[in-house]
Amino acid sequence: MTDVSAALGALASTAHPVRFSGLGRSFGRPVLRDVDLEVAAGEVLAIVGASGCGKSTLLRIAAGLDAPTTGTATIDGTAVDGVDPRCAFGFQQPRLLPWRSIAANVSLGLPRGTAAAAGRKRVARLLELVGLADAAQLRPREVSGGMAQRASLARALARNPGVLLLDEPFGALDALTRLKMQDLLLDVHAAAPTTVLLVTHDVDEALQLADRVVLLGREPGAEGSTVVREIVVPGERPRDRGDARLAELRGELLEGLGVERHAH
Amino acid sequence: MTDQTTATMEREGRANALGNPMLTPVGVRAQPGAARTRGSLGPVQRILLGALLPAIVLGAWWLSTSTGFFAPHQLPSPVAVVQAGVDYAERGLLGTYIAISTQRVLIGFIAGAVLGLAVGALVGLSKLGDAFLSPMLGGVRAVPSLAWVPLLLLWMGIGEEPKVVLIAIGAFFPVYTTVATALRHVDRDLVEAGRAFGYRGVALFFTVQLPAVVPSVAAGLRLALAQAWLFLVAAELLASSMGLGYVLSDSQTTGRVDRIILAIVLLALLGKLSDTVFGLAERWAVRRWA
Ligand SMILES: Nc1ncnc2c1ncn2[C@@H]1O[C@H](COP(=O)(O)OP(=O)(O)OP(=O)(O)O)[C@@H](O)[C@H]1O
Ligand SMILES: [Mg+2]
């Protein structure tokens, strides 16, 4: 915890609220429609939903990498227009530059204008936090999939963003590393305030990490996904995995995903 | 890692599907296992094996001339060819001819390559540039190299310019084609990652797109260099008073087969030497950037 504060405290950011209003996106056919969602500054929001329902698309719109067909996405009251410097993105695939070392890849995430020495220090600390200190000088092709994904997470954290967009950041990790990285994310969140939008397919992960979970899916008779369920997760983090209330919510979310599966 | 390997393979698959032979050397290198399992030759054995065929050809040549199978005016002996070289050297012409030919190749190659890089970048990166330039360039590219010669001679006389321009034309197209093709096929996910972290325009080009195409560009440059030697001979054959191509055309009129063979051997050596040097540079580029 103190470790994390030390690594991140130097460049404290302010968390920004995110808002999607009347948002729709179609690629020939509607993928997202009528998404109305407000994320408070500093909130951790988990987004779950069936594969292909538009979770990545929603995050890309928030980052300004894609534009909505209808409606708007706003960060801190201003509409997202083009790539937004207040966001950092942890992609579903690591997307590391193959010709750069892991450390150089992580430094790609540093905010513009970071002094070289401060940047190096920050990258080194982040690599330590994600357990890649020994791999700093390796190329992406020389590390495992899980290591690459941790490097990608470190690159997003390097930005010290007001809004952290994570697209299944722990998907390729083994169970133990996954738990460690989940803890790391919570530590980071506690040390440097940021709004987190976390896409995951793991309902337990969503309930462990998030203040609120939204389920994206189709409403009967309509094309395109929208928010079909919204769950405020009770209790303070770190949560007890055996909590009976969580077990009930878990069932509810799985049912939501299951209904979704039958609909296809 | 798996994702990345798959992505790389897809990228190369696409490049190869385009039938672009220039991208193949880079692609082959991406599977290091394949090269290692191909044979168990050490470097010395490989050099010896590579030298075997030239040695056999030389031996057969020597034998066929010393036994009188060929008359000297048909095929002079290796010794006579060396003699022709010594003769040129004593008159101070050998070095001059080699130097002037090499100079033409280098100047033309550099001019064509720089232009090819710039235009290739424009066409590969901008849809507008692509739509505007590539139909015209495709047409120009279809013109056989020798067709330019009369025009260049009429416009520029018989000095250095028409030769260098012809060589530049020859070097331009391999570079232009590889750069444009490679830039069009840069992994979109990587470009998007660069954009997501605030890189745009020139910064994005130098951070993501350019490094991603360095190996293909190196392959294109190497091809362009070979092409430059080809066009050199075309230029010198038709209008020159110096250089290796001039030796060829002049010796044809005087019937000096020994000098013709000398020029051919020198062209082979120079071309192979420059290609080897460039091949090393390319190998380094692939290791560093791929
Ligand atoms: N650039 C694009 N062009 C066309 N269709 C697209 C594009 N991007 C996404 N889609 C389509 O939009 C839908 C949602 O894609 P998206 O990647 O957002 O899904 P997802 O919820 O993240 O799925 P997963 O859980 O499998 O990652 C898919 O059907 C996909 O085919
Ligand atoms: Mg996705």
The ipTM estimated for the assembled molecules is 0.88
pLDDT for res B239: 76
Partners of A112 on chain B (C-beta within 8 Å) are 198
Which ligand is closest to the CA of A51, given by its number?
1
| Residue A78 is assigned to a structural domain of this protein | yes
Query: Confidence class of residue A171 from pLDDT cuts 50, 70 and 90?
Result: confident
Supply the range of the domain harboring residue A187. Answer: 4-256
Instruction: Map residue B277 onto helix, strand or coil.
Output: helix
CATH of span B77-289: 1.10.3720.10
Task: Kindly report the pTM of this predicted structure.
Answer: 0.78
- Atom 28, ligand 1: which residue's CA is nearest? A52
Is A65's CB within 8 Å of B196's CB? yes
pLDDT tens-digit readout, B177-186: 999 999 999 9
Is A98's CB within 8 Å of B290's CB? yes
pLDDT tens-digit readout, B195-233: 999 999 899 999 999 999 998 899 999 999 999 999 999
**Nearest-CA residue of chain A relative to B186?**
A97
Q: Is the CB of A210 under 6 A from ligand 1?
A: no
Checking if the pLDDT of A86 tops 70, the result is yes
Name the residue among A198, A225, A215 with its Cα closest to residue A257: A215
* Top mutation candidate among A26, A31, A170 for ligand 1, by most atoms within 8 Å of CB: A31
For residues B101-130, give the mean pLDDT: 95
| Residue A235 is assigned to a structural domain of this protein | yes
Is A145's CB within 8 Å of B1's CB? yes
Shortest distance between the Cα of A142 and any Cα of chain B, in A, equals 8
Query: Confidence class of residue A4 from pLDDT cuts 50, 70 and 90?
Result: low
Gap from CA of A44 to ligand 1 centroid (Å):
23
Partner B, chain A 104-133, Cβ-Cβ below 8 Å: 108-109, 112
Question: What atom in ligand 1 is closest to the CA of residue A92?
Answer: 27
Q: Beta-strand (E) ranges in chain A?
A: 18-27, 29-39, 44-49, 70-75, 78-79, 87-90, 163-167, 195-199, 212-217, 226-232
Query: Confidence class of residue B157 from pLDDT cuts 50, 70 and 90?
Result: confident
Q: What is the DSSP string of A155-181?
A: HHHHT--SEEEEESTTTTS-HHHHHHH
Share of chain A above pLDDT 90, in %: 70
Query: Confidence class of residue A192 from pLDDT cuts 50, 70 and 90?
Result: confident
Gap from CA of B71 to ligand 2 centroid (Å):
77
How many domains does chain A contain in total? 1
pLDDT tens-digit readout, A34-57: 999 999 999 999 999 999 999 999
Shortest distance between the Cα of A184 and any Cα of chain B, in A, equals 22
Query: Confidence class of residue B15 from pLDDT cuts 50, 70 and 90?
Result: very low
Contact between B145 and B170 (Cβ < 8 Å): yes
Rounded CA separation A35/A224 (Å):
10
* Alpha helix positions (H), chain B: 2-17, 24-29, 32-38, 43-66, 78-90, 93-125, 127-141, 148-156, 160-184, 188-196, 201-204, 210-238, 244-254, 257-289
| Residue A263 is assigned to a structural domain of this protein | no
| Residue A84 is assigned to a structural domain of this protein | yes
CA distances from B249 to A13, A19, A59, A86, B229 (A): 75, 77, 68, 69, 16
**Phi and psi torsions of A11, nearest 5°:** -120, 55
The b-or-e profile of B20-52 (16+ CB within 10 A means b, else e) is bebbebbbebbeeeeeeeeeeeeeeeeeeeeee
CATH number assigned to the domain comprising residue A62: 3.40.50.300
Residue A20 bridge partners (DSSP): A37, A73
Checking if the pLDDT of B17 tops 90, the result is no
The three-point CA angle B24-B28-B30 to 5° equals 120
**Phi and psi torsions of A214, nearest 5°:** -115, 145
Contact between A149 and A137 (Cβ < 8 Å): no
Question: Token pair of B288, please?
Answer: 């560093």
pLDDT for res A5: 63
CA distances from B287 to A96, B115, B189 (A): 17, 26, 22
Does residue A238 have a cis bond before it (omega within 30 degrees)? Answer: yes
Q: Which residue has the higher pLDDT, B19 or B39?
A: B39
Gap from CA of A32 to ligand 1 centroid (Å):
10
Contact between B133 and B195 (Cβ < 8 Å): no
Partner B, chain A 135-174, Cβ-Cβ below 8 Å: 140-141, 143-145, 148, 155, 159
Contact between B26 and B9 (Cβ < 8 Å): no
Which ligand is closest to the CA of A27, given by its number?
1
Instruction: Map residue B147 onto helix, strand or coil.
Output: helix
Checking if the pLDDT of B35 tops 60, the result is no
Rounded CA separation A183/A159 (Å):
19
pLDDT for res A7: 58
Instruction: Map residue A42 onto helix, strand or coil.
Output: coil
A20 has a chain B CB within 8 A of its CB: no
Partners of B3 on chain A (C-beta within 8 Å) are 93-94, 145
What integer best gives the mean pLDDT of chain B? 85
The DSSP element (H or E) to which A154 belongs, if any, is: helix A145-158
Residues lining ligand 2 (ion), CB within 5 A?
Answer: A 56, 92
pLDDT tens-digit readout, B118-135: 999 999 999 999 999 999
Partners of B195 on chain A (C-beta within 8 Å) are 65, 83
Here the contacts of B242-245 (C-beta below 8 Å, separation 24 or greater) are: B242/B96, B242/B97, B242/B100, B243/B97, B243/B100, B243/B101, B243/B104, B244/B97, B244/B98, B244/B101, B244/B270, B245/B101
For residues A175-196, give the mean pLDDT: 89
- Tally Cβ neighbours within 10 Å of residue A232: 9
Q: Is the CB of A99 under 6 A from ligand 1?
A: no
